[in-house]
Structure 1
Amino acid sequence: MLDLATLHEAIAAAVPDRECLVWGDHRVTWREMAERTRRLANVLHGHGLGLREDGGRAEPWESPHEHLALYLHNGPEYLEGLVGAHKARVAPFNVNYRYVDDELAHLFRDARPAAVIYHARFAPVIGRVVAQLERRPLLLQVADASGEDLLPGALDYEEALAKASAEPLRDVRPEAGDLHILYTGGTTGMPKGVLWRIGDLMTGPLGMRRRDGAPLTDLGEALEKAVRSDHRVLVGPPLMHGAGTWSALGGWCGGACVVFPGRVDGLDAADLMATAERERITRMPLVGDAFARPIVEALEARPHDLGSMRTFVNSAAAISPDVKRRLLELLPHARIVDILGSSESGFQVARNGSSARSFMPTPGTAVLSADRSRRLAPGEDEMGWLAKGGDAIPLGYLGDPAKTAATFLTLDGERLVVAGDRARLLADGTVEVHGREATTINTGGEKVFAEEVENVLRGLPGVADALVVGRPSERWGTKIVAVVRPVPDGAAPGDEELREGCAAHLARYKIPKAFVRTDLGLRLPNGKADYATARTLLN
């Protein structure tokens, strides 16, 4: 199996002067990036961080590594942190930069960071939270425009790297079994640290596979593929979530140059498209309508030369049919690939085009029966569970044997992960995905998948976005309510128009009983649904 640190060094040795990362005027070659990540590895190692002395891992929820927290907006330091950590055999993990003190304290108690790399603007909250920890982590502060002073005892990131050696660590040998921790977004519960072996992450979500779907594990073969690459990947989604990290690291594993837009603390579609045009981008990740709709509007407002664009990879949220159609009309030479997965499973199913409704399963994907006791055969009319097995799934949840046992199971001798998506396996072998069990609404004895209703609403005229939640009801037990954000400066559709639009695609019991309108955004920074905000609007 491959590991990230070794492959990164091999690509840098093969194409040292090729661009590796671009952010505005900041351009870094593969040689320079290799040196900077080595310097960071030396900083971490010099402070005693790496594989712990008791480095054996007896259980799938245990980590033998020291952990590095990345509390950053997108930028070079985030990717340097990910790769530099692996070169020191430290396990990196993501931190949601929107967390306030209590949320961050909970995360740090769970993750036990031995080091934190953070932007200076987050220094006040970092200072308050680390004061509560039993063990004070190494603090590496990245200067930004905030003007925040260096925290007491913290190291300036650039000064620390400048003083460190640019030579590889001689007594540290990264392995494919080293861990990479991805914390879930916490949209359906408290965040959980998913433990991925870096080798599994590479052959899974990072896309290190041959054309026939077989895992790519030979260093020479992977290097040959990377050297031939001409890809330039523009990463707009935040790296603090899987879609952003997997797009960036997957790009690097394939030899691509990773590009960030000028603005990294929020979505600026005009800036994103200007960057795509200037840097001749070939691939770009999207996160549903929250990204796709503003991009379409930016392209409709001003033509851009995006002839190099080949692929939009959409994950984590759906793109409504009208938005997808408009995007493909604007860029007919490009394609949209919809991928569905999770932090726990990687990518499970995919589809191409604007009209496809079901997904093609990726290697290892199965649909289990409702009681999770067997695999369903194509065409069995049972609402089951989307599952993933094979050679690229995580080990478990950090420090949580109960949740690990509930999500990771063994069936017929094969280990599977069941992240919580309900699905049907159709007669043609494709998968019809209905949505997360955690967002299912039981109304009048019928189960309604919120995402199914939301997808219909977002396709109706005058609707910019919509979320569906449940409200207590004496008659129904739970009543379906849609929170709708109308298109700006347009004629907001009335309740009856929305009901009629839904009735053309949904059974009567799935149609919302009430509609609430709002001008507020209904998406988190990563483009996922913000159900917490939607529920506050019901009061």
Structure 2
Amino acid sequence: MGQHSLVWQGIAAADPDRTAVRGADGRHWSFAEFTRDAAGLAASLQDQGLRPGDRVALLMYNRPEFLVAFYACLATGIIPAPLNYRIRARELVDLLDDSQAAALVAPDSLGDVVSGALDLAATRPVLIRVPDGPGEVGGSGPSSLAWEDAVAPQASLPAAPPEDAELWIYTGGTTGRPKAARWVAADLFASQRFSTYTVLGLPAPEDVVGAVALAVDPDTPRVVTLPLSPFIHGTALTVSLNTLTLGGTVLTTDSPRLDAEAAVRMAVDEQATRLVVAGDAVSLPVLDAADAAGVRLDRITSIYSSGMRFGPETKRRFHAHGEMSIIDLLATTEGGGFAVTQTCGAEDLPGRPRLLETAVVLDEEYREVQDQVGAVGILASRGPLPLGYHGDERKTAETFPVIGGRRHVVPGDWVRVLEDRHLEFLGRGSSVINTGGEKVYPQEVEEALLSHPAVLDAVVVGLPDPRFGEIVAAAVAVAGPTTAGAILDHVTPLLAGYKKPRHLVVRSVLERSPQGKLNLARLRQELERDRGAQREMEGTP
């Protein structure tokens, strides 16, 4: 039935003054202005030689310019590729090389990272500089444009984007190296029918004309979404795109860090009706800030989260603020949603995840068992799916197997089947650490630790944490005198902050078997005990 950008263009024509995006500094874009700036940016990118299929890297936190750039790309068939703004210069070089980005959109505040990466990059992308502070990111020159100049051209968007227009969303790979999941934009749009329409009790329209009519219908609830997790997370991005598709407004915090007090003020002042959080990691500071300010979040009617722990007591605190629906999704970048735990009040807690229509459970022989109560299997989806991973045919074949003549995605989540399509989540089959909604793979962290001259051996695991779900913890074997603090200082410039171990134990040796294997279960228990003893000494709860 089309894609997001087509609906936005239709809304701009039908109701041009409707507010699409509002920033924390009070700047706002109507749908007409949102479309105007996207058209201007698209024209500038084309003037710089970009064509459909070329990539634009978006190194950006939640700012209106992110959404404008995303719109410009979707509407023209240029591929937007959001990157994690917490990465270091060396990591940015790797991602620019992997995506072969022809352009990079980045704010001045990330100038050191961008400048360092551009000095090392094999080819220099066109740089679009977004002002958010003093200085100029990456300097100026013929391949550098200030944002205000980039959106200035008077232009129109194409009547329709190419049918095969893509967007890329980077996710972790099994070796810790990020991989881009390649979505056809129309397929991602189709995969969002539940999140866009069903959760609001709205009938899903059959085409773009119907979607535009529903968006501008006075009887359609006006959604005002405040994403408090970054757009680089699939849920924050897709819920924001879907909000615009409903003719709603997206609020942006314009900050790379969570300011819980400012978030509460914005939610109240802008009358937000929907929050996007990353489980307890975001929710707890926001709830504490609301309590401290004596504020009730009673205009919020829905809260979305996915990918990390969202405890029942945290949900209970939200439900105490008023009537709201909490949608806790089990979802992945590679396959959209698999299951949802939805609660409408404290009486529904703790809630149980329930399979979405497109999801199935497979046993070890890939036979469907979602209707067999008590069966244990692996989650899969056969709905709209990405094309696969950019540049990795082997991993694409593993993750997107063809079963019974139909393509599935099997990301690695194990569950037990309960009655009426409900599930008990058992865990991931891989060693991924999910900390605050960010994926961390141990091998990358271990390589950084091993680059310290005194470190002989290293192992990285996830430990449970009440706020972040898990934290990154490590044990290292060293030769000669050194300290945990010195090792952590060494890896600081090598790893994004969320990848850096929060707990590190230094030993003379790690007890490996003759085959080189470690007893990870025992090591994890030892690290948990050590961390607990340390927190008790520090008086940390």
Number of the residue aligned with 1:115: 103
Asked whether the 8 Å contact 1:280–1:306 carries over to 2, the reply is: no
SS in 2 for 1:81: helix
Equivalent position to 1:418, from 402, 410, 434: 410
Deviation at 1:304, TM superposition (A): 2.0
Matched, 1:479 2:521: yes
Number of the residue aligned with 1:40: 41
The residue identity in structure 1 corresponding to 2:213 is E
Matched, 1:155 2:197: no
Number of the residue aligned with 1:292: 283
SS in 2 for 1:28: strand
Change (3 A) 1:10 1:517: farther
Deviation at 1:439, TM superposition (A): 3.3
| Cα deviation digits, residues 39-63 of structure 1 (max 9, x gap) | 1111112222122xxxxxxxxxxxx
CA distance, structure 2, for counterparts of residue 214 and residue 222 of structure 1: 10
SS in 1 for 2:2: coil
Number of the residue aligned with 1:343: 333
SS in 2 for 1:417: coil
Change (3 A) 1:239 1:408: same
SS in 1 for 2:408: strand
CA distance, structure 2, for counterparts of residue 201 and residue 217 of structure 1: 15
Number of the residue aligned with 2:258: 267
Matched, 1:361 2:360: no
The residue identity in structure 1 corresponding to 2:3 is D
CA distance, structure 2, for counterparts of residue 238 and residue 219 of structure 1: 28
Number of the residue aligned with 1:389: 382
| Cα deviation digits, residues 317-338 of structure 1 (max 9, x gap) | 1112222222222x13122111
| Cα deviation digits, residues 267-298 of structure 1 (max 9, x gap) | 11111111111111111111011111111211
Number of the residue aligned with 2:63: 75
Asked whether the 8 Å contact 2:13–2:32 carries over to 1, the reply is: yes
Change (3 A) 1:135 1:14: same
CA distance, structure 2, for counterparts of residue 118 and residue 399 of structure 1: 25
The residue identity in structure 1 corresponding to 2:185 is I
CA distance, structure 2, for counterparts of residue 363 and residue 198 of structure 1: 21
CA distance, structure 2, for counterparts of residue 81 and residue 142 of structure 1: 11
Matched, 1:19 2:11: no
Matched, 1:257 2:249: yes
Q: TM-score, normalised by structure 2?
A: 0.78
Change (3 A) 1:71 1:377: closer
Number of the residue aligned with 1:50: 51
SS in 2 for 1:358: coil
Higher alpha-carbon deviation: 304-313 or 65-74: 304-313
Number of the residue aligned with 1:91: 79
Count of paired positions: 458
Change (3 A) 1:377 1:350: closer
Number of the residue aligned with 1:324: 315
Deviation at 1:225, TM superposition (A): 1.7
The residue identity in structure 1 corresponding to 2:521 is K
CA distance, structure 2, for counterparts of residue 266 and residue 432 of structure 1: 33
Asked whether the 8 Å contact 1:380–1:425 carries over to 2, the reply is: yes
Deviation at 1:478, TM superposition (A): 2.1
CA distance, structure 2, for counterparts of residue 124 and residue 151 of structure 1: 14
Asked whether the 8 Å contact 1:364–1:389 carries over to 2, the reply is: yes
Change (3 A) 1:257 1:91: same
Change (3 A) 1:264 1:470: closer
Equivalent position to 2:207, from 202, 213, 218: 218
Point out where structure 1 has 5 or more consecutive residues left out of the alignment: 52-64, 442-449, 484-494, 496-510, 520-539
Change (3 A) 1:464 1:200: closer
Number of the residue aligned with 1:203: 190
Change (3 A) 1:480 1:215: farther
Asked whether the 8 Å contact 2:196–2:243 carries over to 1, the reply is: no
SS in 1 for 2:231: coil
Matched, 1:166 2:155: yes
CA distance, structure 1, for counterparts of residue 17 and residue 202 of structure 2: 31
Change (3 A) 1:131 1:190: same
Change (3 A) 1:127 1:364: same
Deviation at 1:141, TM superposition (A): 0.9
Change (3 A) 1:181 1:464: closer
Change (3 A) 1:91 1:516: same
Number of the residue aligned with 2:295: 304
Asked whether the 8 Å contact 1:233–1:281 carries over to 2, the reply is: yes
CA distance, structure 1, for counterparts of residue 362 and residue 414 of structure 2: 9
Matched, 1:399 2:391: yes
Higher alpha-carbon deviation: 74-83 or 421-430: 421-430
The residue identity in structure 2 corresponding to 1:248 is S
Deviation at 1:361, TM superposition (A): 1.0
The residue identity in structure 1 corresponding to 2:311 is S
CA distance, structure 2, for counterparts of residue 365 and residue 114 of structure 1: 36
SS in 2 for 1:438: coil
SS in 1 for 2:256: coil
Asked whether the 8 Å contact 1:286–1:314 carries over to 2, the reply is: yes
Asked whether the 8 Å contact 2:55–2:79 carries over to 1, the reply is: yes
Change (3 A) 1:379 1:518: farther
CA distance, structure 2, for counterparts of residue 308 and residue 343 of structure 1: 30
The residue identity in structure 1 corresponding to 2:216 is V
Higher alpha-carbon deviation: 229-238 or 182-191: 182-191
CA distance, structure 1, for counterparts of residue 468 and residue 72 of structure 2: 41
CA distance, structure 1, for counterparts of residue 273 and residue 36 of structure 2: 27
SS in 1 for 2:50: coil
Deviation at 1:408, TM superposition (A): 0.2
Deviation at 1:215, TM superposition (A): 6.1
Asked whether the 8 Å contact 1:213–1:363 carries over to 2, the reply is: no
Number of the residue aligned with 2:228: 236
Matched, 1:379 2:379: no
| Cα deviation digits, residues 4-38 of structure 1 (max 9, x gap) | 22211101111111111111311211111110011
CA distance, structure 1, for counterparts of residue 167 and residue 533 of structure 2: 41
Asked whether the 8 Å contact 1:71–1:95 carries over to 2, the reply is: yes
Change (3 A) 1:401 1:173: same
Asked whether the 8 Å contact 2:416–2:425 carries over to 1, the reply is: yes
Change (3 A) 1:388 1:45: same
| Cα deviation digits, residues 214-250 of structure 1 (max 9, x gap) | 8644012111221134111111211122122112111
Deviation at 1:94, TM superposition (A): 0.8
Change (3 A) 1:481 1:287: farther
Change (3 A) 1:11 1:401: same
Number of the residue aligned with 2:30: 29
What does residue range 51-66 of structure 1 map to in structure 2 within 5 Å? 51=52, 65-66=53-54
The residue identity in structure 1 corresponding to 2:406 is E
CA distance, structure 2, for counterparts of residue 297 and residue 481 of structure 1: 34
